[in-house]
């Protein structure tokens, strides 16, 4: 990747696995941050080898993990309500980066025809026990066969961003919907924590998005951003992890007030810690 034309934004540490440092460069035209160097596809899996990588487990070993799963259950209901509001007749749903399969399980039980894709064999094994159906990769799926495609905090992980967006365009039906959830580096909590902001999560997060970057990247494939929704819980979760990375401690009270302030700031400037983007195929 040629990053010579981009400016260095900051340098961050992989706090959860390798303790290595990575640079983030800013593509000013797209308002996009790029992790550099990016691990190749062979070495990337080792950066996920941690019992603390919570989205690949159903662990409830601590207060933090129990709180995570409590909030996740609320989020699952919200996600289901969202896809039902966009497609009341239901239909075919693809979840890319399905993790342990909780979202697909909820959707399947609600009448959706579901399919998942998940690179982590550990997470996939948990999901299969819940009855989730998987494809090995999206390439084996038929073109224009899904009414809704979701990527919940997954797009930031994919090695080839432009190819992934082209593949979404191929898979979604005419007038179908793509739902993308990603962190927002323009949020108050991102600016407050700087290099300690947990949602940078390099090198697992290869790309770091803004509202501008999502709009422009999807427009290249004639996919239209129609709505942006806040993920208000993320400000608290990310602030808690950021406190741990910055101070070595779970400062629950301080993290709560930073998360609260982030949401209050975003109420006026609309820059929440994370956003859900609703994108329509034309």
CA atoms within 13 Å, Cβ hemisphere of 45: 8
Residue 231: pLDDT over 80: yes
The answer to the question of residue 243 being in a domain is no
The answer to the question of residue 134 being in a domain is yes
Q: What is the pLDDT of residue 70?
A: 73
Q: Please give the model's pTM, rounded to 2 decimal places.
A: 0.93
Q: What is the average pLDDT across 209-215?
A: 98
The answer to the question of residue 77 being in a domain is yes
Cα–Cα distance for residue pair 203/37, rounded to 1 Å: 8
CATH number at residue 89: 3.40.50.150
Beta pairing class for 172-183 and 146-152: parallel
What is the extent of the structural domain holding 103?
7-230+271-281
Q: Which residue has tokens 């509202």? A: 211
Q: What is the average pLDDT across 176-199?
A: 98
The answer to the question of residue 169 being in a domain is yes
The answer to the question of residue 248 being in a domain is no
Q: What is the pLDDT of residue 56?
A: 47
Beta pairing class for 172-183 and 274-281: antiparallel
The answer to the question of residue 2 being in a domain is no
Residue 63: pLDDT over 90: no
The answer to the question of residue 136 being in a domain is yes
Identify which has the larger pLDDT, 120 or 55: 120
When divided into structural domains, the chain yields a total of 1
Those residues whose C-beta lies under 8 Å from the C-beta of residue 244, and which sit 6 or more positions away, are 15, 198, 250, 251
Return mean pLDDT, the chain. 93
Residue 55: pLDDT over 60: no
Which pair of tokens denotes residue 231? 């993920």
The answer to the question of residue 265 being in a domain is no
């Amino acid at each position: 990747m040629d990053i010579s034309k981009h400016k260095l934004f900051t340098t961050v540490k992989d706090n959860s696995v390798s303790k290595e440092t990575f640079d983030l460069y800013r593509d000013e035209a797209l308002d996009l941050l790029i992790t550099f160097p990016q691990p190749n596809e062979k070495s990337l899996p080792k950066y996920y080898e941690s019992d603390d990588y919570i989205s690949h487990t159903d662990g409830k070993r601590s207060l933090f993990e129990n709180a995570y799963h409590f909030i996740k259950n609320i989020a699952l209901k919200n996600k289901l309500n969202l896809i039902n509001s966009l497609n009341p007749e239901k239909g075919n749903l693809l979840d890319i980066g399905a993790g342990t399969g909780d979202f697909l399980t909820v959707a399947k039980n609600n009448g959706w025809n579901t399919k998942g894709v998940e690179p982590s064999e550990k997470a996939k094994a948990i999901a299969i026990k819940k009855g989730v159906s998987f494809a090995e990769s999206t390439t084996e799926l038929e073109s224009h066969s899904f009414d809704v495609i979701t990527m919940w905090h997954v797009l930031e992980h994919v090695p080839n961003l432009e190819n992934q967006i082209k593949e979404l365009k191929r898979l979604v039906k005419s007038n179908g919907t793509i739902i993308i959830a990603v962190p927002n580096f323009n949020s108050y909590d991102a600016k407050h924590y700087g290099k300690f902001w947990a949602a940078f999560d390099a090198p697992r997060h290869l790309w770091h998005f803004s509202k501008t970057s999502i709009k422009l990247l999807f427009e290249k494939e004639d996919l239209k951003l129609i709505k942006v929704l806040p993920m208000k819980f993320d400000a608290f979760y990310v602030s808690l992890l950021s406190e741990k990375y910055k101070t070595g401690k779970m400062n629950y009270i301080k993290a709560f007030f930073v998360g609260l302030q982030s949401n209050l700031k975003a109420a006026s400037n609309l820059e929440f810690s994370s956003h859900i983007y609703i994108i329509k195929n034309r």
